[in-house]
A and B are shown apart, each in its own frame.
Chain A
């Protein structure tokens, strides 16, 4: 590893999202939310969603954390707005798979868009959780509101 590898983790987009997070702050109207902690570092992400007719019409997050967790949450909010809840669940699964070095289907990867950048965290096992917690929060918020997809 080298500083060049560091640049692949901390790409300009990532640093930009961490320094200027999009959709940060509590939504004034939301009907789904979830808080996820990373016990190893004390970071917390709270995700807020407004879901209308099964589509995410607004998303935001609050909480503090490292560059990776902040950027990942920020990118997530951009990626999910306009998606259906089923698409979101597929995206969360694909993200989590990619970040842990597993395969994911192309359709879901395409849905992730820019947010897929964060899956380079795979090369840094100690940091995987930083990138994935906001996606867990997404998964949890949707399932809490709608029940499990197979129910």
Chain B
């Protein structure tokens, strides 16, 4: 096998900096991705030339900004195969998921109802449902792991019944790195009349998403994990559902009419976008989509697979390494080193300039299920190459030597 080269490295000045005297080896893309320099430059141009508020201005600048914002919405819609009216801009996946819970959930989930979710959900797709269930007297039912440490479809089947109102599921786990059986679970949920909220935060950087084909009812993701800016995210919802839902936040830009006694709401998506939106974030997300389209998901998928094919056998061959989840990894791998706490390991890795995440990854229910307090997570993306895999492997080796000979 030839060496695996980065698809794009020079576009990311951050990756040229050093950490603790070593060139940065960035392995934390599942947390956030750096933004290509050109996107920052384009946003600066926008600030310098067109910046204004949206919607409210009957002036040229306002119109330009509104057009740019709506153009970004169209790009998102096309990117996930939705209608622009089905694309709500939020501050991120967390806000998107909370919006569904506060609006659709509050309206439709009642005492005695059941919500099915995976034990591997990120807190942002766990807590909104746990809190809602507590508030209304509904019940959470968890899809557990099978002996491959992947979601157990057989056990899942037993969770759905006529009381199930909602399935909340990550398409790709931010810890296990594997793709969940979304199609099967959505079909189980739909069969009992439940709606499906898919958390796409970890999937959208890695694969082409088609919400119609997936047939999810809601789909949430964040810009900052797909080369866009922070503070911008998306909630996709099927139009018919969005139209029935009450707004979750109230403020400027979302009413059709208002007097002292009452208000009527704007159509979707404005109904859900109270207040001055993050225009620059949305426009930046649009540029990130352009960038990803230019690179192409076929190339992205192939690149990440090549990196995993190179790394995983070497990692697994180290007897002191325990990898979590046996499914195929989309650029994300979590593991522990025998006898070494992940925080100690990450502190050592940091000395070698290898930046990973150590902790519970906002997935405490999964940590409890795996019976560990925390893990190390290395996550890869288009700017990583084989040398980054080698540096991780070397940092692991040095860390094992450091602690094993010291004890």
- Which residue numbers of A lie inside 8 Å of B, CB to CB? 1-3, 5-6, 9-10, 12, 15, 19, 40-43, 64-68, 124, 126-127, 130
Contact = CB atoms under 8 A, between A and B. Distances in A.
19 contacts: A2-B21, A3-B351, A3-B398, A6-B347, A6-B348, A9-B347, A10-B402, A10-B406, A41-B343, A41-B358, A41-B359, A42-B359, A42-B360, A42-B367, A42-B374, A65-B341, A126-B350, A127-B343, A130-B343
A1 B19 CA distance: 9
Given A41-B373, A42-B360, A126 B347 contact: yes
B347 A124 contact: yes
B60 interface: no
A43 B347 CA distance: 16
Interface string B390-407: 000000001000110011
Interface string B367-382: 1000001100000000
Interface string B136-153: 000000000000000000
Nearest to A14: B406
B20 A1 contact: yes
Q: Classify chain B: how many residues form its interface, as a range.
A: 20 to 34
Contact of A40 (B347, B350, B359, B407): B359
A1 B351 contact: yes
Contacts of A126: 347, 350
Given A42-B360, A65-B341, A2 B351 contact: yes
B373 A43 contact: yes
A139 B20 CA distance: 35
Contacts of A124: 347
A19 B403 CA distance: 11
A127 B374 contact: no
B363 to A, nearest CB: 10
B189 interface: no
Interface string B254-279: 00000000000000000000000000
Nearest to B19: A1
Interface of B is mostly: helix
B11 interface: no
A48 B110 CA distance: 43
A74 B280 CA distance: 51
Given A67-B341, A127-B343, A41 B374 contact: yes
Residue among B347, B374, B403 facing the most chain A CB atoms (10 A cut-off): B347
A127 B350 CA distance: 12
Given A42-B367, A43-B373, A15 B359 contact: no
Contacts of B367: 42
Nearest to B339: A19
B107 interface: no
Interface of B: 20-21, 341-344, 347-348, 350-351, 358-360, 364, 367, 373-374, 398, 402-403, 406-407
Contacts of B344: 10, 66-68
A124 B407 CA distance: 21
B126 to A, nearest CB: 15
Contacts of A130: 343
Residue among B20, B343, B398 facing the most chain A CB atoms (10 A cut-off): B343
B366 to A, nearest CB: 11
A74 to B, nearest CB: 14
Contacts of B402: 3, 6, 10
Contacts of B360: 41-42
Contacts of B374: 41-43
A11 to B, nearest CB: 9
A2 B353 CA distance: 11
Contact of A6 (B342, B351, B358): B351
Nearest to A44: B373
Contacts of B407: 15, 19
A130 B407 CA distance: 20
Residue among B342, B360, B406 facing the most chain A CB atoms (10 A cut-off): B406
B21 A1 contact: yes
Contacts of B347: 6, 9, 124, 126-127
A18 to B, nearest CB: 9
A80 B360 CA distance: 31
A43 B342 CA distance: 11
B186 to A, nearest CB: 31
Given A6-B402, A126-B347, 20 more contacts: A1-B20, A1-B351, A3-B402, A6-B351, A9-B347, A10-B344, A10-B406, A12-B406, A15-B406, A19-B407, A41-B343, A41-B359, A42-B359, A42-B364, A42-B373, A43-B373, A43-B374, A66-B343, A67-B403, A127-B347
Contacts of A42: 359-360, 364, 367, 373-374
B244 to A, nearest CB: 37
A65 B342 CA distance: 9
Contacts of B398: 3
Given A10-B402, A15-B406, A41-B360, A68 B343 contact: yes
